[in-house]
Structure 1
Amino acid sequence: MSDRIKNLNPNETADKPYVVYWMQASQRTEYNHALEYAIAQANELDKPLLVYFGLTADFPEANARHYTFMLEGLQDVKAELSARGIAFIVQLTSPEKGAVAWAEDAALLIVDRGYLRIEREWRDRVAHAVSCPFIQVETNVIIPVEVASDKEEYAARTIRSKIHKQLDAYTEPLPQTDVVHASLDLDLPYEKVDISDISSLIDELDCDQSVPAVEWIKGGTPQAKKRLSHFIENNLPDYDEKRNQPGLAITSDMSPYLHFGQISPLYMYEQLADVPASENKKAFIEEFVVRRELSMNFVYYNDQYDSYVCLPDWAKETLANHTDDERETVYNLEELETSDTADPYWNAAQSEMMKTGKMHGYMRMYWGKKIIEWSPSPEEAYSRALYLNNKYNLDGRDPNSFTGIAWCFGKHDHGWKERPVFGKVRYMNAKGLERKFKMSDYLLRVANSLPND
């Protein structure tokens, strides 16, 4: 546990009435090291614990689809905290500003760890603004990012062994801590936010409502656990062989829940304990542990993670050498966004993302590659891919998403046979899809998954 804990300022504990856990990246009450640490500290200080969450419409590129899924999860958080005797305070304010305000009467302020630039900036501002100790507890990865590696890794192959060598040390179960002093009945001077009516709250937030919520998946830890259980029982036995087949729904659907911190990767790992060793189990661990924690490594050590600048030099050089190559077809952003291309597979992938908030992982790679081919420059292609991905995917604006987009342009990959437009960056085309998969099944699956307009 000690490797997960970091003092963000040198302040000493004050004799104030309560301890505050600022919940932000880890929106769950189970397998949450930050919450359990906060409860333990409150007990030791003989004080009640409050959990605070700041709700802002200013999170970059977030819209009603993202907020709905998040608020569904926060409803579960409120109920579960209440069952443990802990008050849950949701306020319509920029998260870091609310944290500073609550810290005025806090003996200790605790926060979970976020890796994106805005999350790190929030924590830095709070650390310099509060007079109480401010402690960060890392809980959204199995191995703390700086323990896993002290530098930006080149590829999955360079971080894989580092992670596997340390898994046993960081996969111990996390027991729940009993609350000594309940905080539900405290008289707290704050304006209560009703999170039971999500539609009205989104109206009050005044966030972007151009991208509607989806119906096929609901947010929250109970829903995440139910989906994980179903996946392990029904789909994991075929995972290694069939996960890349776009026409099949073999994926776990855990990425939205992981993005909002509604499920712990440690909990997921523990649910595999009784699953016999197999290539299927190995492949799933590779995805949600190795590849996911490589993405955390990327956004933590590379401050340009959301920019074309983040790409390796070889990729930028080869793409630059082919910027002026003639493109057979160039689409504008509106044509891409509305799935108005001559490629039925790409159109299906874009439609799947727009309507459902999710895209099959293999198709997301193809989708990104074709944007390179159809854009006037690689820089413009990068901007378009990020815009579309972050706007429509439930797991957009996530380290995994930023890493996935960068991969399409050569990040965490190596040079291939040189060709027009792509240079030495890996190329994908429709014929390759048709050789590997029965693409008519994908077109049918997407068509059947989309609601009637």
Structure 2
Amino acid sequence: MSSEEERVILTPELKARIERNKREALERLKANEKKLSQRARVHGDRIRRVNGEDAKNNVANGQYVLYWMQSSQRARYNEALEVAVERANAHKKPVVVAFALTCDYEDANERHYNFMVKGLLDVKEGLSRRNVPFFLVTKKKKRKEEKEDASGIPEAILSLSKNAIEIITDCGYLRVLRIWRETLARKVSIPITEVETDVVVPVFAHLSSRPKLDVSAASFRAFALPKSFEHTENVPDLEEIVPLWNAEDVKKARMSVMDVLDDRFAFVIDGRIASSSSSSTPSTSAKQTADDILSVLKTEFGLKETPHIPKCDKYHIGGEIEAMLKLDAFLDSVVLRKYGELRNDCSLGLQSHLAPYIHYGQISVLHVAKRARRFANAHKTDEKIQKSVEVFLDELIIRRELGIQFVVKKRETYDTFDALPIWCINTLEKHKDERETRYTYEELEKGQTDDPLWNAAQNELRISGKTHNYTRMYWGKKVVEWFRDSREAWTVLMRLNDTYSLDGRDPNSYTGVGWVFGLNDRSFPEAPIMGEVRRMSMSGCKKKFGKAIDAYIDRWNGQREKGGRQVSIANMFKKQKTR
């Protein structure tokens, strides 16, 4: 959620800063070619060691370079994968890619696992094309005598490290993901290299020089926008490195994997295609559809069934193949001549719909940003397309990465009400007696309020797994109004978001919900109910968009279980017809 009033303004000063930054970046790259991984073409700012320099490669006994895939669930445009292949070629050993699936990940449900597993099947096929073995591993239900690992780190990765030469992993920003990586670094003696694969501007390379939290998109934009050009225009495209290993090398690596994963673990997807004949390996590796895999996860590994939260396959199908189709459909001159001016009109299908795919790392944000800027460069004389791309990239880079900076710099509190600016907390507390709690969580969950626009937004979220960006802001604002206790409103919004949104449990979930309470926004003249926090109203929405609001309400309230969102990629951005 963001202020739709705030516009992206490239002042002469900012334009000059961008050009200066681009020149300086080119000079740095020429002067220091080590800033790029020589073959993979990964900018050096993206790569960092997680553990100390005293960690040494296990060259004597290691059988593979382990890529622990976690945040970047894709086989293309994946910097961590290319760094791993490059390192494996240097060691003359293969890469093993492992994804450790945890069936009890906090606030995740069957809807989320369905979307993710479909994507992991795409990963398997993409890696198979490059002769890279892929293991989707899960732990069996805990035995009574087993002690729980307090860190929560996926134990399969710790086991796989025993036969690894070194570990490459992608970067996660939430607290639990940071703890996983830090704990692994303490427990292994081989090098762990983390690659920032899901941002345009790397976070940790600039953390020491920019430790303070940006309080608005404007302040962050002044830093990140010039930097973004360095990564989208001055760094060559990521290239797939050809693996130098052969089928026999892969066979040995697979056997080595089987040796270290004992009967506490099971392979949901095993290797490239075939399953192991090992007696300790369950036959679940033959389950190659998402439905079959989910069935196994529920019956054998403890994944909870959530029949009241339907899958979203009619609207959004997980995987990098579908993500690329949606990007191709969005980067269209007809769409982008409208997007800049009309993106907030909820009766038009002008959203990119990429957020869930970005959340699971099924598409590279750097690749998306490069494609968008190239599209703009190919239409330099079209002012509408120029504006649309500018707005889209502001959302993709500035707004999104402002959220990532927030969770990194507010690591211990980002998911709490107390992470909000003190002025927001104080003004809402001052006016709490002017609010009253109007609905239960169950009524909100089912879209059973007296506000038809709010119900439509909740129905869209509940049915499709996403909500239109503009109505999402309204959806959040009204919940703040409907609860006397703002802390309770925060809890309710986070629960609704994390339960139903495909991209819940994301840095932008916390800043998005935070925005409705005033985070990253300015204060407004004090008024009843919300104090100095920005308000939104049904009358204001109708004044701005007129019949579009009625069409949206009719679509999502009138067709309760079916919704009105079109299914096909070809029709995704066409105007919705109403009854």
TM-score by length of 1: 0.96
**What is residue 240 of structure 2 aligned with on the other side?**
176
The separation in 1 between residues aligned to 2:509 and 2:559, in whole angstroms, is 22
Query: What is the DSSP-based 3-state SS (H/G/I as helix, E as strand, rest coil) of the residue aligned with 1:66?
Result: helix
**What is residue 250 of structure 1 aligned with on the other side?**
350
Give the stretch that moved more between structures: 271-280 or 260-269: 271-280
Describe the superposition over 1:261-300 as per-residue Cα deviations: whole angstroms up to 9, x where unpaired.
0000111012120332511110111111111111111111
Letter matched to residue 238 of structure 1? K
1:443 aligns with 2:562: no
Describe the superposition over 1:40-96 as per-residue Cα deviations: whole angstroms up to 9, x where unpaired.
011111111100000111211101110011011100100110110100011113763
Contact 1:29 1:80 (C-alpha < 8 Å) held by counterparts: yes
The separation in 2 between residues aligned to 1:95 and 1:394, in whole angstroms, is 23
Query: What is the DSSP-based 3-state SS (H/G/I as helix, E as strand, rest coil) of the residue aligned with 1:192?
Result: strand
Contact 1:356 1:450 (C-alpha < 8 Å) held by counterparts: no
**What is residue 3 of structure 1 aligned with on the other side?**
45
By how many angstroms is 1:451 displaced? 3.6
Describe the superposition over 1:104-130 as per-residue Cα deviations: whole angstroms up to 9, x where unpaired.
111101110001111111111111111
Query: What is the DSSP-based 3-state SS (H/G/I as helix, E as strand, rest coil) of the residue aligned with 1:227?
Result: helix
By how many angstroms is 1:218 displaced? 0.7
Q: Percent identity?
A: 37
Alignment of 1:7-406 (within 5 A): 7-10=49-52, 11-15=55-59, 16-93=62-139, 96-147=154-205, 149-171=210-232, 172=235, 173-182=237-246, 184-186=250-252, 187=255, 188-189=257-258, 190=261, 191-193=266-268, 194=285, 196-205=288-297, 206-210=302-306, 211-215=309-313, 216-233=315-332, 234-272=334-372, 273-275=374-376, 276-277=379-380, 278-303=386-411, 304-327=413-436, 330-406=438-514
Contact 1:127 1:134 (C-alpha < 8 Å) held by counterparts: yes
Contact 2:200 2:365 (C-alpha < 8 Å) held by counterparts: yes
The separation in 1 between residues aligned to 2:47 and 2:558, in whole angstroms, is 47
Describe the superposition over 1:367-418 as per-residue Cα deviations: whole angstroms up to 9, x where unpaired.
0110011113100000000000010010111111111000110100111121
Letter matched to residue 32 of structure 1? N
By how many angstroms is 1:421 displaced? 2.4
By how many angstroms is 1:214 displaced? 1.1
By how many angstroms is 1:185 displaced? 2.8
Describe the superposition over 1:153-184 as per-residue Cα deviations: whole angstroms up to 9, x where unpaired.
11100011211211232122111111111454
The separation in 1 between residues aligned to 2:111 and 2:559, in whole angstroms, is 17
The separation in 1 between residues aligned to 2:527 and 2:562, in whole angstroms, is 41
By how many angstroms is 1:420 displaced? 2.0
The separation in 2 between residues aligned to 1:106 and 1:166, in whole angstroms, is 35
The separation in 2 between residues aligned to 1:263 and 1:89, in whole angstroms, is 20
The separation in 1 between residues aligned to 2:513 and 2:293, in whole angstroms, is 32
The separation in 2 between residues aligned to 1:47 and 1:287, in whole angstroms, is 41
Describe the superposition over 1:244-267 as per-residue Cα deviations: whole angstroms up to 9, x where unpaired.
111111100000000000000111
Give the stretch that moved more between structures: 290-299 or 193-202: 193-202
Contact 2:72 2:170 (C-alpha < 8 Å) held by counterparts: yes
By how many angstroms is 1:448 displaced? 7.1
Distance 1:402 1:208, change over 3 A: farther
Alignment size in residue pairs: 452
The separation in 1 between residues aligned to 2:447 and 2:469, in whole angstroms, is 18
The separation in 2 between residues aligned to 1:41 and 1:444, in whole angstroms, is 56
Give the stretch that moved more between structures: 19-28 or 161-170: 161-170
By how many angstroms is 1:196 displaced? 1.4
Describe the superposition over 1:323-364 as per-residue Cα deviations: whole angstroms up to 9, x where unpaired.
22243x611111111111000000000011001101001111
Gaps of 5+ in 2: 1-42, 140-151, 269-284, 381-385, 564-579
Contact 1:68 1:198 (C-alpha < 8 Å) held by counterparts: yes
Contact 2:435 2:484 (C-alpha < 8 Å) held by counterparts: no
Describe the superposition over 1:284-323 as per-residue Cα deviations: whole angstroms up to 9, x where unpaired.
1111111111111111111211110110011011111112
Contact 2:455 2:557 (C-alpha < 8 Å) held by counterparts: no
TM-score by length of 2: 0.76
The separation in 2 between residues aligned to 1:79 and 1:118, in whole angstroms, is 29
**What is residue 271 of structure 2 aligned with on the other side?**
none
Gaps of 5+ in 1: none
The separation in 2 between residues aligned to 1:235 and 1:396, in whole angstroms, is 27
Query: What is the DSSP-based 3-state SS (H/G/I as helix, E as strand, rest coil) of the residue aligned with 1:324?
Result: helix
Letter matched to residue 14 of structure 1? N
Q: Which has the larger radius of gyration?
A: 2
Contact 1:54 1:95 (C-alpha < 8 Å) held by counterparts: no
Once superposed, what is the RMSD of the aligned Cα atoms?
1.7
Give the stretch that moved more between structures: 329-338 or 207-216: 207-216
Distance 1:82 1:420, change over 3 A: same
The separation in 1 between residues aligned to 2:367 and 2:153, in whole angstroms, is 27
Query: What is the DSSP-based 3-state SS (H/G/I as helix, E as strand, rest coil) of the residue aligned with 1:185?
Result: helix
By how many angstroms is 1:422 displaced? 0.9
